[in-house]
A = this chain, B = another copy of it.
Amino acid sequence: MDTSTSYRYEQLAELIVGMIDKGALAPGMRLPSVRTVSEQHRISISTALQAYRLLEDRGVLVARPQSGFYVAAARRGARALPSASRPRARASTVSISGAVAALLEHASNSTLVPLGCAVPDPALLQSKRLDLALARAARQDGTRYNTYCAPQGEPRLRREIAKRAMRVGHALSPDDVLVTCGATEALTLALTTVARRGDTIAIESPTYFGFLHTIEMLGLKAFELPTHPTRGIDVGAVARLLETEPVAACLLSSSFNNPLGSMMAEDDKRALLAVLARHAVPLIEDDVYGDIHFGRERPKPFIALDGGANTIYCSSFSKSLAPGYRVGWIAAGAYTQQVMERKLAFSLCSPVLPQIALADFLESGAYDSHLRRIRRVFEENLAHMTRTIEASFPADTKVSRPAGGFVLWLELPRRFDSRALFDEALEQGICFAPGDVFSASRRFRNCLRLSAGHAWNDDMEQGIRRLGRLARTLLAR
């Protein structure tokens, strides 16, 4: 692709986004055909198609076979995006554990409207087929598997994981996959391998509070990077940081950031990898939401772009299939041996039968249709949620436009206190995640995260409406 073509399709894409933001193109509206738009703008058909595909990847447009491209339902022109973050430029120790434990305690209270935890609703996941595979394995082969497996995990499961990696362009050997207790253990193994107490980890801002908690418990420091609500971290800021500050690792969930739902463009990902490689700073990548993409193609993980030369990849089945099974994995490239030693030392190996059940499920080919279904479900949930927020929250509330996953990030005026909202919401039977737990320096007190992981119903809708009214009342005080 030459540069001029690259410019043209990006220009067209920006024009379309501008029209949507101004309301000239409404959600659900059909776009002109690729042929028409190529004639109107005097560009080639392939350039026009490239622009549409880019916007599809970003979740702005939806392609319907034999029909054309439409403005995505979740795409609302009425609300501005949250601001790009500009955290203070220094590493800070983290002290988040109390806040995280308190949040999780409320989030697991099933009497509350469940907007707090980014856990998919078991009823949405429909894990029956997987559970039957577990029942079968336990009944038929329970004795055979009642022993420790290798610390790396069951070979059949590692083979299936490696096969799926291949499909997003990452040539991975089953020998380089190590099965973990969710992405959380994977992340712990990665961090303990590359960093020591007192070291600094560069992270997105906002970022998943679980990352902050693990960083705190390992005695590490966090450096929060400026982060754009749709494009992710500012690569230039990383480059500047590494010139001045020793950083042990960069930790990202780029597809898709939790809570923003942002997705770094592939070019930005490559640029970031180049900067990190130049300074020999490893990248730890958390890809738990990568399979829940709203665009046509699954975004390429970092590890597929650098072949794992400088990337430690962590993921799990917890967001897309089986949170109760606690099966994740890590592909640690050059660090594989060190990670394996830590797995052995910290938890020996993972339970065997859940791994066998997952291997059976993946081998059956059922995962792809499962993913197609839940992607649609989560995207629709987010569209419902966005519409309800627009109808009920204060007029100047900014709302994220996630390209995947199932959470929304809301930014209210600076004086707004989401902690006060949190307390009042709990009294009214609603749980959500207040903004400050997403920052090592406890920024984002005027923000909040809502999870759309649960089936959309009247309770959810009424819960969000009540939350919106509460926010308006609080702001009016």
Contacts and interface: CB of A to CB of B under 8 A. Distances in A.
Scoring A101, A184, A345 by chain B CB atoms within 10 A of each residue's CB, the highest score goes to A345
A350 B348 CA distance: 14
A326 B345 contact: no
Contact of A324 (B125, B196, B351): B351
Given A146-B122, A147-B122, A214 B346 contact: yes
A182 B345 CA distance: 12
A216 B353 CA distance: 30
A23 B143 CA distance: 42
A131 B125 contact: no
Contacts of A318: 148
Given A119-B148, A351-B326, A138 B131 contact: yes
A349 interface: yes
A345 B147 contact: no
A347 B347 contact: yes
A474 interface: no
A353 B134 contact: yes
Contacts of A324: 145-149, 351-353
A5 interface: no
A334 interface: no
A25 interface: no
Contacts of A188: 345-347
Number of copies of this protein chain within its complex: 2
A274 interface: no
Contact of A217 (B128, B150, B346): B346
Interface in A151-167: 151
Contacts of A123: 143
Contact of A323 (B122, B146, B181, B213): B146
A327 to B, nearest CB: 8
Nearest to A105: B150
A173 interface: no
A354 interface: yes
A100 interface: yes
A213 B351 contact: no
A356 B228 CA distance: 43
A286 interface: no
A400 to B, nearest CB: 24
A271 interface: no
A150 B108 contact: yes
Given A181-B348, A353-B324, A354-B353, A142 B146 contact: no
A347 B182 contact: yes
Given A143-B127, A324-B146, A347 B134 contact: no
Interface of A: 97, 100-101, 104, 108, 117, 119, 122-123, 125-128, 130-132, 134-136, 138-139, 142-151, 181-182, 184-185, 188, 192, 196-197, 210, 213-214, 216-219, 318, 322-327, 340-342, 344-354, 357
27 contacts: A101-B344, A104-B344, A119-B148, A122-B144, A122-B145, A125-B146, A127-B142, A131-B146, A132-B138, A132-B139, A134-B135, A135-B138, A135-B142, A146-B323, A147-B323, A147-B324, A181-B350, A184-B345, A184-B346, A184-B347, A185-B347, A214-B345, A217-B341, A325-B351, A326-B351, A326-B352, A347-B347
